[in-house]
């Protein structure tokens, strides 16, 4: 079972990807993680990716797909995998599709965790983080015992720049321009399935399981 997770930043697709991976005993493949692993291990692909990153450039789609295929060719992916964070654009989806086709393979499901923008802005701007110990909270859903203070180490909690409404709006704009077209791309291939991401996390997960069977 080969699955791609789609959804705007803050829609909760990473959380769902981890839960799917656990339930079906397949790896959760995050492109950020595999980049870091290749660079840390000094692989040939990792060295190539590092050159682009050190120069402040985006890693080309072809190289990203090579690193991805290298990961999904490993033994633990024999029964499938959940892709999180890739593809983000139509060209990336096309490169991935062509590369898998050459291997006689294809993606089975593209699951879109659908959440309206205003919900995402509210969800992310409610996050609070402790910069000292890394603990995270949410003023509505997981509030600290004492407002603005970390339960774990007593340090002050902050709203990270990434979670500020204006930053979230910018990220959503990029998402709609680049990633939203993937919805049409996978709809045309009859593998897109949408779930209502505004529901409780467990309900969303149950909806996904109902699709995957």
What is the model's pLDDT at position 52? 87
CATH value at residue 58:
3.40.50.300
Choosing from 2, 71, 127, 128, the catalytic residue is 127
pLDDT above 90 for 178: no
Which 3 state secondary structure label does DSSP give 178? helix
pTM of the model: 0.83
**Does residue 52 belong to any structural domain of this protein?**
yes
What is the model's pLDDT at position 88? 87
Q: Is 102 a catalytic residue?
A: no
**Does residue 173 belong to any structural domain of this protein?**
yes
As a whole number, the mean pLDDT across the chain is: 92
**Does residue 132 belong to any structural domain of this protein?**
no
Choosing from 18, 50, 88, 199, the catalytic residue is 88
**Does residue 104 belong to any structural domain of this protein?**
yes
* Mean pLDDT of the region 46-71: 89
Q: Which residues form the domain of 54?
A: 2-116+169-212
pLDDT above 90 for 162: no
**Does residue 122 belong to any structural domain of this protein?**
no
Instruction: Please give the tally of structural domains in the chain.
Output: 1
**Does residue 121 belong to any structural domain of this protein?**
no
The number of angstroms, rounded, from the C-alpha of 6 to the middle of its chain's C-alpha atoms is 7
Residue 62 or residue 206, greater confidence: 206
Q: Is 123 a catalytic residue?
A: no
CA distances from 137 to 19, 127, 151, 202 (A): 20, 6, 10, 19
Q: Is 36 a catalytic residue?
A: no
* Mean pLDDT of the region 180-186: 94
Per-residue model confidence as pLDDT tens digits over 14-35: 899 999 999 999 999 988 889 8
**Does residue 94 belong to any structural domain of this protein?**
yes
Closest CA to 13 of 96, 107, 110, 78: 110
Choosing from 101, 160, 170, 189, the catalytic residue is 160
Strand partners, 156: 149
């Amino acid at each position: 079972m080969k699955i791609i997770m789609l959804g705007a930043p803050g829609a909760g697709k990473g959380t769902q990807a981890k839960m799917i991976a656990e339930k079906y005993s397949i790896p959760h493949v995050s492109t950020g993680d595999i980049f870091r692993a290749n660079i840390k291990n000094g692989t040939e692909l990792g060295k190539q990716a590092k050159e682009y990153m050190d120069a402040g450039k985006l890693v080309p789609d072809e190289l990203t797909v090579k690193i991805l295929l290298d990961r999904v060719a490993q033994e633990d992916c024999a029964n499938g995998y959940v892709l999180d964070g890739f593809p983000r654009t139509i060209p990336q989806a096309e490169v991935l599709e062509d590369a898998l086709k050459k291997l006689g393979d294809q993606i089975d499901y593209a699951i879109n965790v659908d959440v309206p923008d205003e919900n995402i802005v509210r969800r992310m701007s409610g996050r609070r983080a402790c910069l000292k110990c890394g603990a995270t909270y949410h003023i509505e859903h997981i509030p600290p015992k004492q407002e603005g203070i970390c339960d774990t180490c007593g340090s002050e909690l902050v709203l990270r720049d990434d979670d500020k409404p204006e930053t979230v709006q910018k990220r959503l704009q990029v998402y709609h321009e680049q990633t939203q077209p993937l919805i049409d791309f996978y709809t045309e291939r009859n593998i897109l399935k949408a779930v209502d991401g505004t529901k409780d996390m467990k309900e969303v997960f149950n909806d996904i399981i109902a699709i995957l069977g």
